[in-house]
Structure 1
Amino acid sequence: MSLAPATTTTATPATMPATMPATAYDAPLALLVDRPLVVLTGAGLSTDSGIPDYRGPGAPRRTPMTYQEFVSGPGPRRRYWARSHLGWGRMRHAEPNPGHGAVARLGADLVITQNVDGLHERVGTPSLVALHGRIADVVCLSCRATSSRAELHQRLTALNPGFAEQHADVTSNPDGDVALEETDGFVVPDCECGGLLKPDVVFFGENVPPARVARCYEAVEALEPSGGALLVAGSSLTVMSGLRFVKRAAKAGTPVVVLNRGATRGDDLATHTVHAGCSEFLTALADLRAEAASA
């Protein structure tokens, strides 16, 4: 594979064939092959695992439940848990794809994921921050005790017999829920202390825990003096929780490569944009970095 000098280029869906030739990767690969890296991943990384993304090409418009709505009363919580019960019953069977494996092999200083699906953890990704938490964990909003989502799933199944079978044909959404309106009568248990149970993930309207943000900023800021780069994989950067790290890197003069199937809010800040799926590019990058490290 030839590696051209890094230049600012953009590959677009209109000009890119279904299987991109290696030459379309040359400049961004050359930039990333031997630098320290921080990697920021989003929902586009998990589409090859069968988990739909929020804003990729063809994704339907949807409005996730906010934290304020979730705590506003039993109706919204029942609606959330009914949908999430079905969605997580499917998501928990998703398997990591080659993109997850490649990210784990990159030797990144830090991997920041906006995903809550736990697939990075499944492949043993080192130095990982799950920015928005993990859908496989549950937290009580009163006593703050955490517990297993698998255990709660069993309780919900027992309390709502036949519910999953009745709605087996509903469409899956990102972040472990489904498109379902009929949720009346769904039974939701509380914590043993009487508090409200919530997935241990950051809802819209909540703040990411400050310690997580600080660790991510520290890693991004360390890239500039070390000659490193920030790689964004599978995120549209629509929400500020991820975009802020791109802004910080670009402000410091750190190179940024954005890999995503469509345009992102960070494209104007990027040194290179690659509008494509994640698995092929990330696998090529992981192989090249392994070759460079052993040379």
Structure 2
Amino acid sequence: MTDWRERKGPIGVLTGAGISTDSGIPDFRGPRGTWTEDPVAELLSTYQNYVADPQLRARAWLARRDNPAWQATPNPAHQALVRLGAAGRQVGIITQNIDRLHQRAGSDSVVEIHGNMFEVVCVDCEFTDSMAATLERVAAGEPDPACPACGGILKADTIMFGQQLNSAAIRAAVEIAETAEVFLAVGSSLQVEPAASMCAVAVDAGADLVIVNAEPTPYDVYAAEIVRDPIGVALPRLVSEIVGD
């Protein structure tokens, strides 16, 4: 049986919060995850609660203001994926993260399946703005800034629990998974669908699945290889094995 490292076709990558922890951004479900240490924080990611509760929205704006991602920089795992592309491999990244560290590292084929934290949208109209501009309003004394166009509720351009995913992003993610010969799932608990199901899409299409995650996942049974080592060490090593340097 051919080792997955010897396959030369497209490489798909699904990344979760674990790839960004070395950049100083906590994950969600890990032993020291955001939701593990503060279960109430998960309410901030639930759409129905957010639109119904002005006090919760005010807390959410403060959480956005204080998000460690503003100071974060790409780490060796993000950079390893850039190196994989620079070596001539076709790489498509599907990320569950909203921090844009892949793009800041230099990756140019990134599908943000859960949106991003750098833009703001209105839930009632087509208004959009930058997060920086909206946080300036918060700093100026608006705890829950309203849409200047219609008076509606503003939120980060992220997908909350209870919200419908962007259909174009899903189609792009499925295309990456279906065309991959190797599919790397990195730093994801693989518990949130449909992001996690991209592993099944890839395997069904003939890809070798490689999981890099500290904890077991529901998709481990389908993996050609499972790596439990720290991501910042494991992913650069795997990339070196793939490109042969």
Structure-2-length-normalised TM-score: 0.87
Please report how far the alpha carbon of residue 58 of structure 1 lies from its aligned counterpart in structure 2 after TM superposition. 4.1
Residue deviations 1:68-118, cap 9 Å, x none?
1111132322232233322x3x32011111111111222243100000011
**Is 1:156 equivalent to 2:113 in the alignment?**
no
Superposed structure 1 runs of 4+ greater than 6 Å apart: none
How far, CA to CA, are the matches of 2:236 and 2:6 in structure 1?
13
What secondary structure is seen at the aligned counterpart in 2 of 1:71?
Answer: helix
**Is 1:136 equivalent to 2:114 in the alignment?**
no
Match of 1:190 in 2: 146
Match of 1:239 in 2: 192
Match of 1:179 in 2: none
Matches within 5 A, 1:159-238: 159=141, 187-193=143-149, 194-223=151-180, 228-238=181-191
Match of 2:230 in 1: 277
Of 75, 78, 85, 1:100 maps to 78
Aligned-pair Cα RMSD in Å: 2.1
**Is 1:39 equivalent to 2:13 in the alignment?**
yes
**Is 1:55 equivalent to 2:33 in the alignment?**
no
Please report how far the alpha carbon of residue 37 of structure 1 lies from its aligned counterpart in structure 2 after TM superposition. 0.4
AA of the residue aligned to 2:74: P
Residue ranges of structure 2 left out of the alignment (5+ in a row):
none
AA of the residue aligned to 2:48: Q
Judge conservation of contact 1:250–1:269 (CA < 8 Å) in 2.
Answer: yes
Residue deviations 1:112-156, cap 9 Å, x none?
000001111111212111111111111112222221111122221
Match of 1:68 in 2: 48
AA of the residue aligned to 1:117: D
What secondary structure is seen at the aligned counterpart in 2 of 1:103?
Answer: helix
How far, CA to CA, are the matches of 1:77 and 1:58 in structure 2?
24
What secondary structure is seen at the aligned counterpart in 2 of 1:139?
Answer: strand
Structure 1 residues 257 and 132: alpha-carbon distance in aligned structure 2, compared to 1, 3 A threshold: same
Judge conservation of contact 1:32–1:285 (CA < 8 Å) in 2.
Answer: no
Judge conservation of contact 1:138–1:146 (CA < 8 Å) in 2.
Answer: yes
Please report how far the alpha carbon of residue 216 of structure 1 lies from its aligned counterpart in structure 2 after TM superposition. 1.1
Residue ranges of structure 1 left out of the alignment (5+ in a row):
7-29, 161-186
**Number of residue pairs the alignment of both structures matches:** 234
Match of 1:164 in 2: none
AA of the residue aligned to 2:78: H
% same residue? 37
How far, CA to CA, are the matches of 2:20 and 2:7 in structure 1?
23
Please report how far the alpha carbon of residue 33 of structure 1 lies from its aligned counterpart in structure 2 after TM superposition. 6.7
Q: Which of these two proteins has the greater Rg computed from alpha carbons? A: 1
Judge conservation of contact 2:26–2:32 (CA < 8 Å) in 1.
Answer: no
How far, CA to CA, are the matches of 2:137 and 2:6 in structure 1?
47
What secondary structure is seen at the aligned counterpart in 2 of 1:243?
Answer: coil
Of 81, 100, 117, 1:118 maps to 100
